[in-house]
Every structure is written in structure tokens, then in C-alpha cells.
Amino acid sequence: MRVTWDIFCTVVDNFGDIGVTWRLARQLVAEHQCAVRLWVDDLRAFERLCPAIQVDAARQWQQGVEVCRWQGEWQPTASADVVIAAFACQLPDAYLEAMAAREQAPLWLNLDYLSAEDWVVGCHGLPSLKHKNVQKYFFFPGFQAGTGGLLREGGLLLQREAFQADAAARSVFLASLGVVPAPDARLVSLFAYENTGLASWLDAMATGGTPTHLLVPEGRVLADVLRWLDLEQMTPGMVQVRGALTLQVLPFVPQDDYDRLLWSCDFNAVRGEDSFVRAQWAARPMLWHIYRQEDDIHLDKLEAFLHLYTAGLSPDARLALQGLWRAWNVGGEMAGHWREAERHWQEWFEHAERWCLEQASRPDLAAALVQFYRNWL
């Protein structure tokens, strides 16, 4: 009998939460033959990642996953064998009772946010609160042994390597988005939150010695781009040139196409959690805009990741990369940091490939979840 899984997702950051849970649900079905229900409270945000989603359907099947709308009055529903509350979302009271009513209690997991902080290793897999006879456990994705690892589908890196080695395939894909890269230009993607440091970074690229073609998917940072351009709007496909910088707006694309966009670029600026991980699998230099939290506790998470990520770099390259990331995440002046980072471009490129392979040497998140369930039985 197939193991049944219920994954609950409250959409908080538009695309990060649903992005992670949608990838996980698909992988559990495709690679581990699990029966998965994905409960989502905002199907319109989900539609941006999966255009086939029917936003008004209470239940539907998408790529082997049963997608259920989690809104309004909860209807009686039997509990699954494994229950995942993604990112500490609160399960419906009636569902908690259904879990407790099972003859065999389900495995209940809180799939937490990704962090490189040291304490994650010590907390991963520990019991949390209980509801009657049902015990909940912490499950932490992570970058180190002793954590749940990162989402990575089987064969992903081979697909990426083949794509990056095939110039014709990249050209065809980019053309499908209306992109014809500027001659001899460095191709850069920009997916970020609003950032006061963007203008200085755009200034640096526009006046720099390396031609840059900047691809900006529709999203929150576009308003800052328009302000720098002194334009009221740009629609997908529109191109603007300022000095050495060519800017182009892209439509918001489904997840698989976003992966290919990251693979196509020489440098990727990403945000949140889902695109952050996918940029690492792209094995290219990157810049992370971490989700801001109260009291700036997100900066502790940033520093923890930088400590791990930059460990293999030369001292000068490490300082340059750290300076760039720190400036970006406080909305600071970017121009000097960008120019300094460019001096170490080849080392950063090679380091990104090594980091990707190092992370891929560990079990992926879906496999780790399945193994945790088997060990728990």
C-alpha cells in the first residue's frame, strides 16, 4: 500500500512557501511513489508557479499530486500516514482530532525554514509538542550533515550540466522568453525584494567595463528598476539600454522554466528560500536577498550561510563576496562591492561549481523525509 502524505502550506511570502512544498510534493510522488495531498490556502499565488492550477477548484490533480484548497470551514478529512506542517503553519483543529483518532498515529513533522545556523543540527529530528497521542517532530533542511538536506530531484544536476553545455538549447530557451542576449554580455537574472541598494548596483553595471544583460522577472523589485530608469512601467519583453547595461523584463515563469533561466545566466540574484536553493544547483555565482525578519534576526542566518559558503575561497575573494552580500541585504551602497567582486569572478565561478557538488553529495530533502518515516515506523 502506498504511504499517504498530507502537506499543509500557508502562503506567506507569495512564492517561497508554496514553491518549496510544490517541489517536495511532486518529488515524493514521482520518485518515492507516495500518495500526496497538498493543502494550500492561496491558489492564486500557486497559479503563478503552476499555470494549470484551477484557482476555484476545491480538489484537483496536478502532476500526480492531489491539490486541495485550504480555505473556509474545514470538512471532515481522514489523516494521512505522514503529516507535514510546512514552516510551522497551524493545522485545523478537526484535522488534529482526525490524527489522534487513527489506530496508528501518523508521523507529524514541522518542516522548518532553511538555515545554516549551528543549532539546526542539534534540533533536527527532535520531538516537539504533542496533541494527545500524536507526537510532532522538528525537521530542518540544511547544508550540513545531520540536517534534512536540500530539495534536489533525481538527475537534476545531469540535466543542468547537459543544458549548460548545449549553447543551442540555451538560445532556443531564451528565445522562447523573447531574450536575445546583448553581444558579449554577461547574462544576469534579478529576482529580489524591494532594495534601496539596487540603484547603485545598476549604476555600477551601466558604467562598468563588462556589458551586462539584466533579466528581471515580474515581481517586487521591478518598481525599483523603473524608478532608476525614470519610467512608469515596463511590460514583459520590453528592453531598455543604459550605457553598458541592457535591462529586460521577463514574464513570471513556471518553476521548471525558472530553473532553466538560472542555468542560462552567468550570475543570479535570488530571494527567499526556493530560488535560493535553485540558484545553488545552477552552479553559478549568486547573490541572495534573504527574507527580512523582525529585529534583523535574518542577518544572523545570512552570516551563518556566508560562513559556510565562503569557506573555500581565498581571503580576498571571501571578503569581496561577503561585502557584496552584506551590502545587498541592508540596502547599502553596491558599486564598490560589485567592482571588487568582479575582480574574483573566475574563482567565484569555480567555487560555485564545487559548492554545488558538495551539497549534492548529501541525501536530498525528499529522500531524507522518506527515510525518517521508515526509521520512525
Active site residues: 17, 273
Where on the phi/psi map is residue 87: left (φ > 0), alpha (ψ -120 to 50), or beta? left
Instruction: Indicate the DSSP class of residue 295.
Output: G
- Residue owning grid cell 517586487: 220
Contact of 82 with 5, CB cutoff 8 Å: yes
DSSP for 211-252, written as a single string: -EEEEEESSTTHHHHHHHHT-S---TT-EEEETTEEEEEE--
The percent of the chain in helix, strand and coil, each rounded to the nearest 5, is 40, 20, 40
Cα–Cα distances (Å) from 152 to 116, 171, 177, 279, in that order, read 17, 25, 25, 12
The span from the CA of 311 to the CA of 329, in Å, is 20
Bridge pairing between strands 82-86 and 4-9 = parallel
The span from the CA of 100 to the CA of 95, in Å, is 9
Cell of 195: 532594495
Total length of the chain = 377
Distance of CA 108 to the CA centre of its chain: 24
Strands of the sheet containing 107-111, edge to edge, are 59-62, 65-69, 35-40, 4-9, 82-86, 107-111, 134-139, 127-131
- Residue owning grid cell 545566466: 265
Q: Contacts for 227-234 with beta carbons within 8 Å, 24 or more apart?
A: 227/199, 228/198, 228/199, 228/202
